[in-house]
């Protein structure tokens, strides 16, 4: 009798078989072994929603724990620096009783306005106030004596926790300078990581190793679908596996979503059929639209969304000259938004003068949800585009634009 559905189409949940990221995990494992000089001791992971950023952080944490390191795993938010100093790191210190007792003997703590009261056993004229830097130093020394170190991971890097990120980056930089066994890894959307690196107080992170997560090879995708199914008591091969594999377009979240739908559509002890694979792709595409495309588009300007809608007219990579004509703008103007969307990792340039979508099924999603007139090349320039946008903005408040584009 087959077991439950092995696939995990939930953000941040590790899949039954992680594929396509072996190189990154291997480089990180080497960094733990190589010592202080390895560039992977400070790593920034970036990629679009569903590209596997959190899953990769999970894998890096597992590698560290297997080597006897302690892991402080947090999500970026206001107050996270104080929580690391006052709660997360002291809790890890409990694994080292001698260091923990010494650390708290006669000391209070105050971090970023958050106070911790600890009963004194003796009176010191100059008691140490455990800051984030002091707490991390104490933990790193204790872990080092035990043959390990400290890994700090921060997920969902964003603007809301920028002040805390600056504090943490500076403390980690000091640990590096002092030769402590500390490793740092953070993950976030491309625009958020770029914002972090542009902010004052994070110069240290500009030298961090960058891991940009892209599509997984179709060979790896086939393994990621077929092997978990086989382990759970069902089979998929031949045409059905080819259809399902190509339907993912190498997108990690889509792998799990299609696998999940394949399991629901199939039956115990029977091989998945090609028709079931096609149905699974359609169902997965709808869910990806709700969970990935909607929030990704919501963060864009109206002109960014208009540019994408103009691309969605084409069944293949779009010519920039066609996009300029559809928008009724000049080349420099269109190039600004081309660059913005490439930096956001929503589109890419497969060849000179052409652009294409990076997120799978985004073209189909735009065609289904954008105003019809915006997806039809206008007969004449800016005035026609502005009229079309104005007429349809009430019907399509989320897509693509409201009024004539302005840089």
Same domain, 30 and 102: yes
Higher pLDDT, 151 or 204: 151
SS (H, E, C) 170-227: HHHHHHHHCCCCEEEEEEECHHHHHHHHHCCCCHHHHHCEEEECCCCCHHHHHHHHHH
Q: Is 372 exposed, middle or buried (0-12, 13-18, 19+ CB in 10 A)?
A: exposed
Close Cβ partners of 22 (under 8 Å, ≥ 6 residues apart): none
Structurally, how many domains does the chain consist of?
A: 3
Please state the separation of Cα 64 from the chain's center in Å.
20
Q: Percent of the chain having pLDDT more than 90?
A: 65
Is 8 contained in some domain? Answer: no
The helix or strand, by DSSP H or E, that contains position 59, with its residue range, turns out to be helix 53-66
Residue range 12-35, pLDDT digits in tens: 889 999 999 999 999 999 999 988
The yes-or-no verdict on residue 272 having pLDDT over 90 is: yes
Residue pair 233/2 in contact by the 8 Å Cβ criterion: yes
Q: How far apart are CA 385 and CA 388, in angstroms?
A: 5
Q: How far apart are CA 243 and CA 262, in angstroms?
A: 11
Same domain, 336 and 201: no
Same domain, 67 and 174: yes
Q: Single out the residue in 175, 195, 212 at which a domain terminates.
A: 212
Task: State the pLDDT at residue 195.
Answer: 87
Task: State the pLDDT at residue 125.
Answer: 55
Same domain, 207 and 244: no
Is 190 contained in some domain? Answer: yes
Higher pLDDT, 226 or 119: 226
pLDDT mean over 91-98? 89
Higher pLDDT, 149 or 360: 149
Q: Single out the residue in 278, 296, 314 at which a domain terminates.
A: 296
The helix or strand, by DSSP H or E, that contains position 44, with its residue range, turns out to be strand 42-46
Residue range 64-79, pLDDT digits in tens: 999 999 999 999 999 9
pLDDT mean over 319-336? 94
Same domain, 64 and 162: yes
Tokens of 367: 């065609």
The yes-or-no verdict on residue 1 having pLDDT over 50 is: no
Same domain, 142 and 199: yes
pLDDT band at 396 (very low <50, low <70, confident <90, very high): very low
Higher pLDDT, 262 or 200: 262
Same domain, 179 and 32: yes
Domain CATH for 160: 3.40.50.300
Closest by Cα among 42, 77, 87 to 60: 42
Same domain, 169 and 267: no
Residue range 37-54, pLDDT digits in tens: 888 999 999 998 899 999
Is 2 contained in some domain? Answer: no
Same domain, 26 and 126: yes
Task: State the pLDDT at residue 119.
Answer: 44
Positive or negative CA dihedral for 332, 336, 337, 338? positive
Kindly list the distances between the CA atom of residue 355 and the CA atoms of 300, 342, 346, in Å, as whole numbers in the listed order: 18, 9, 10
- Domain extent at residue 264: 218-296
Same domain, 364 and 286: no
Q: What are phi and psi of 49, to 5 degrees?
A: -55, 135
Task: State the pLDDT at residue 270.
Answer: 81
pLDDT mean over 121-137? 71
Residue pair 86/93 in contact by the 8 Å Cβ criterion: no
Residue pair 190/110 in contact by the 8 Å Cβ criterion: no
Is 98 contained in some domain? Answer: yes
Is 3 contained in some domain? Answer: no
Same domain, 38 and 178: yes
- pTM (whole model) above 0.95: no
Residue range 341-350, pLDDT digits in tens: 998 889 999 9
Helix, strand and coil percent figures for the chain, each rounded to 5: 55, 10, 35
The yes-or-no verdict on residue 386 having pLDDT over 70 is: no
Residue range 226-251, pLDDT digits in tens: 999 999 989 999 999 999 999 999 99
Is 333 contained in some domain? Answer: yes
* Collapsed DSSP state (helix, strand, coil) of residue 70: strand
Same domain, 352 and 369: yes
Is 7 contained in some domain? Answer: no
pLDDT mean over 91-119? 62
Q: Single out the residue in 270, 296, 322 at which a domain terminates.
A: 296
Domain CATH for 311: 1.10.10.10
The yes-or-no verdict on residue 100 having pLDDT over 70 is: no
Q: How far apart are CA 156 and CA 74, in angstroms?
A: 9
Domain CATH for 223: 1.10.8
Kindly list the distances between the CA atom of residue 127 and the CA atoms of 99, 100, 115, 379, in Å, as whole numbers in the listed order: 16, 16, 15, 76
Please state the separation of Cα 229 from the chain's center in Å.
26
Is 277 contained in some domain? Answer: yes
């Amino acid at each position: 009798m087959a077991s439950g559905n092995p696939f995990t189409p939930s953000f941040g949940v590790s899949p039954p078989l992680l594929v396509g990221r072996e190189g990154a995990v291997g480089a990180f494992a080497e960094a733990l072994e190589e010592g202080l000089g390895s560039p992977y001791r400070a790593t920034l992971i970036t990629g679009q929603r569903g590209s596997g950023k959190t899953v990769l952080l999970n894998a890096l944490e597992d590698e560290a724990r297997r080597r006897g390191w302690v892991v402080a795993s947090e999500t970026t938010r206001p107050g996270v620096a104080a929580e690391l100093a006052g709660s997360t790191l002291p809790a890890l210190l409990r694994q080292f009783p001698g260091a923990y007792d010494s650390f708290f003997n006669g000391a209070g703590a105050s971090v970023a306005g958050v106070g911790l009261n600890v009963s004194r056993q003796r009176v010191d004229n100059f008691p140490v106030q455990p800051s984030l830097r002091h707490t991390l130093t104490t933990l790193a020394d204790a872990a080092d004596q035990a043959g390990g170190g400290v890994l700090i991971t921060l997920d969902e890097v964003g603007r809301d926790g920028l002040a805390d990120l600056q504090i943490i980056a500076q403390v980690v930089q000091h640990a590096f300078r002092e030769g402590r066994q500390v490793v740092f890894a953070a993950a976030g959307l491309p625009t958020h990581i770029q914002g972090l690196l542009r902010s004052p107080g994070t110069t240290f992170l500009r030298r961090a190793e960058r891991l940009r997560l892209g599509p997984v090879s179709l060979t790896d995708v086939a393994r990621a679908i077929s092997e978990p199914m086989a382990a759970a008591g069902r089979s998929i091969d031949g045409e059905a596996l080819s259809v399902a594999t190509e339907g993912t377009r190498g997108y990690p979240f889509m792998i799990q979503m299609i696998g999940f739908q394949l399991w629901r559509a199939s039956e115990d002890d029977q091989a998945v059929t090609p028709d079931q694979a096609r149905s699974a792709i359609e169902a997965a595409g709808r869910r990806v639209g709700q969970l990935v495309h909607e929030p990704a588009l919501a963060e864009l300007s109206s002109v960014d969304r208009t540019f994408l809608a103009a691309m969605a007219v084409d069944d293949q990579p779009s010519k920039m000259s066609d996009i300029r004509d559809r928008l009724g703008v000049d080349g420099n103007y269109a190039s600004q938004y081309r660059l913005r969307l490439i930096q956001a990792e929503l589109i890419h340039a497969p060849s000179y003068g052409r652009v294409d979508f990076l997120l799978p099924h985004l073209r189909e999603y735009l065609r289904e949800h954008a105003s019809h007139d915006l997806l039809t090349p206008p007969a004449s320039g800016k005035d026609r585009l502005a009229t079309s946008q104005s007429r349809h903005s009430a019907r399509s408040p989320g897509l693509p634009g409201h009024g004539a584009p302005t840089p």
